[in-house]
Amino acid sequence: MRSTILIFVSLLLIGLIQFIDIKGTGESGDKGYVIVLHGGAGEMNRNTPDSIKNAYYKSLTEALTIGKKILEEGGTSMDAVEKVINYLEDNPDFNSGKGAVFTAEGTHELDASIMNGRDLSCGAVAGVKHIKNPISLARMVMEKSPHVLFAGEGAERFAEKTGIELVSNDYFHTQQQLKKWEERSKKDKNGTVGCVALDKTGNLKEGTSTGGMSGKMSGRVGDSPLVNAGTYANNNSCAVSCTGWGELFIRNTVAYNISALMEYKNMSLQEAVKYMIHNRLPESSGGLIAVDKNGNYAAEFNTTSMLRGIADSKGKFEIKIWE
């Protein structure tokens, strides 16, 4: 009799635990989401004309709205990251896609990467000259090839096979665009674009896309397409997208080190981000955005400004440039 009662009580407790797990925590398909984006770190002056500042605020708001809507409707963080960056690549106000800066030879060379925190799968392209949306090609490298990084002509041949849109290199500039670039270069045109997201299923993704360094030597590749340096995502820790002086981010393996500090040193996301930006990198080198597996987010930089935005399932929707 006593054993029967014990079994009955045990079953009740098991049922109660299962009920709490399903109904009480909100962690069975009802997790929140977070999305953070950046439009580059730089030395944008607070006295920049309102027309330019407002244009950036408007563009960042539209990009963030795209990602928020996808996540709000139960979409994946991968789709949210890609579509946000597609928008920024098509917007000439940013240094990616249509707004890519000029190399020393007066052409454009584009880099991008994307990573899935669930299984560490990733894809990247470097030095492409005819890819309208490099982030989408990076996703194809991840999903449709056994490799991680394609460069130059090989990347573009792969694009043709996978149906990614190619354009003339002239697509990235016109005489009018060249004139705008020359004017904006004196007004601290911002750089690389990126996005990190945590979706309702708890998966972390990141994406980064860039036109590189203004006036760079042909063939130069920065940190944006290099997993571990300028980009990283791992469901055990965080997703990171960096922007700034690429060589410094490569030498310091910035993106991966943030994850490592969290996993091996038990640092919080904020602690790890602040350490890498302010203790490992020199001043005026750049910044980054990140979100961790618990939905905490960070945006840190050691430059004057970093264009950025954050939205989450709790109602936060914020665009910032300086503070």
The single residue of 192, 210, 231, 303 carrying the catalytic annotation is: 192
Cα(first)–Cα(last) distance of the chain, in Å?
69
Q: Strand 317-320 to strand 231-233: parallel, antiparallel, or no bridges (unpaired)?
A: unpaired
Q: What are phi and psi of 298, to 5 degrees?
A: -145, 150
Q: Is 107 a catalytic residue?
A: no
Report CA-CA distances (Å) from 321 to 19, 50, 237, 307.
45, 13, 26, 5
Sign of dihedral through CA atoms 56, 92, 61, 283? negative
Is there a contact between 275 and 263 (Cβ–Cβ < 8 Å)? no
Sign of dihedral through CA atoms 123, 125, 130, 131? positive
Report CA-CA distances (Å) from 219 to 113, 115, 127.
17, 23, 6
Catalytically active residues are 192
